[in-house]
Amino acid sequence: MIIRTFLIAASAMLLSACQLESSDDAAKIAAAKAGYDAFAAGDMEAWAKTQAPDAKWTMPQGFPYGGTYYGPEQVIEEVFMPIGALWPDFKVEPVAYHVSDNVVLIETKMTAGGQISDSIHKAVINDGLYTQFQVYDDAGFMMAHAEAADSIGTQFFANGISKPLRAGNSANGQIWLDYIQAHNDRDFEAIAAMNAENFKGITPDGQVVSGSDQQAAFLRNWIETEDPQWAVWWVIPNDGENEDGVIEEWLATGNIVSSTGPDGAQREAYETIDVLIEEGKIRLLNVASQTMPK
């Protein structure tokens, strides 16, 4: 009778221990799942509440955001925002959770660029919060299907949104070379022919020159007083999507301007000019200039 009572008590204790362990595992899974659910809903405030203030996130090398980040705010700004730009359709779907002590391994299906790949994520859960998170994504596969895989830079907007810049049409570079040559040849008819009807130029001091007639008057006055000559140093055609979703064609240019002042002194200035091209015509010039030291 005593032995039987002991066995029953021992069995009850083991069952209780198993239930306690199972309950603890379930709590860790629930904490891990809460992070994925908030991310899927796009609720960054709720997602941040699943993270410890100093949670350490490690992202694989091979991504533009590969590296280590601390705290939910840095992860949102330096990981999630680039992910949204690279893959507007990005989503992650957990398919299984595996618990060992305070580590939860999550099997996932990743959708990025219309493609699905498998990944393993590792979350360390303490007191119901993520304290560490490490990703084992297939960087090569995902980057091959990134919307910005061919980007040469990034364009930033006042509302905090950023969009990739891509290499533009090399023929637009030749347009600029021809445009500068027309300036050096003092061929105002050729310059006007290369301008869009709604041409506008902004000088380094903020003066706005509207239309080809105003531009010609501005150039004639400059030529009479300083006889400038332009040399193209570099030109980079690039295309970017504006805030309205319209693709624009731009040139980033660097030019050396040699001139002779009223006192006869020779001067050189370095100009950088952002050039907007529409339908093969110069639509906008935004000019910045600085005198080059001797």
Q: What is the pLDDT of residues 193-203, one digit of tens each?
A: 999 999 999 99
| Per-residue pLDDT, 148 | 62
Q: Rounded mean pLDDT of the chain?
A: 90
Mean pLDDT value of segment 105-111: 97
Look at residues 102, 118, 149 and tell me which one is the last residue of a structural domain.
Answer: 149
The alpha-carbon radius of gyration of the chain (Å, integer) is 31
Query: Residues 144, 170: one domain?
Result: no
Query: Residues 140, 200: one domain?
Result: no
Confidence of residue 35 (pLDDT cuts 50, 70, 90): very high
Q: Is residue 222 part of a domain?
A: yes
- Cα 56 to Cα 52: distance, rounded to the nearest angstrom: 9
Whether the pLDDT of residue 133 is over 70: the answer is: yes
Look at residues 93, 120, 149 and tell me which one is the last residue of a structural domain.
Answer: 149
Strands 247-260 and 229-241: antiparallel
| Per-residue pLDDT, 149 | 64
Q: Is residue 122 part of a domain?
A: yes
Confidence of residue 18 (pLDDT cuts 50, 70, 90): very low
Q: Is residue 133 part of a domain?
A: yes
| Per-residue pLDDT, 150 | 67
Buried b (16+ CB within 10 A) or exposed e, 10-25: eeeeeeeeeeeeeeeb
Confidence of residue 4 (pLDDT cuts 50, 70, 90): very low
Whether the pLDDT of residue 3 is over 50: the answer is: no
| Per-residue pLDDT, 156 | 87
Asked which of 63-72, 146-155, 191-200 is least confident by mean pLDDT, the reply is 146-155
Confidence of residue 152 (pLDDT cuts 50, 70, 90): confident
Query: Residues 139, 200: one domain?
Result: no
pLDDT digits (tens, 9 = 90+) for 156-174: 888 877 778 888 999 999 9
Whether the pLDDT of residue 86 is over 90: the answer is: no
Mean pLDDT value of segment 215-227: 96
Name the residue among 223, 294, 229, 226 with its Cα closest to residue 262: 226
Asked which of 85-94, 143-152, 205-214 is least confident by mean pLDDT, the reply is 143-152
Query: Residues 56, 143: one domain?
Result: yes
Query: Residues 62, 125: one domain?
Result: yes
Q: Is residue 125 part of a domain?
A: yes
Mean pLDDT value of segment 229-243: 93
What is the maximum span of the chain, computed from C-alpha positions, in angstroms? Answer: 119
| Per-residue pLDDT, 20 | 42
Contacts of 7 (CB under 8 A, 6+ apart): none
The CATH number of whichever domain residue 122 belongs to comes to: 3.10.450.50
CA distance readout (Å), 277 to 170, 240, 250: 12, 12, 6
**Helical segments of the chain, H only:** 2-41, 44-48, 72-75, 81-86, 139-144, 170-184, 188-194, 211-226
Query: Which domain, by its residues, includes 195?
Result: 166-291
Query: Residues 125, 196: one domain?
Result: no
The pLDDT > 90 percentage for the chain reads 74
Look at residues 149, 176, 195 and tell me which one is the last residue of a structural domain.
Answer: 149
Query: Residues 39, 88: one domain?
Result: yes
Sequence letter at residue 130: Y
The pLDDT > 70 percentage for the chain reads 92
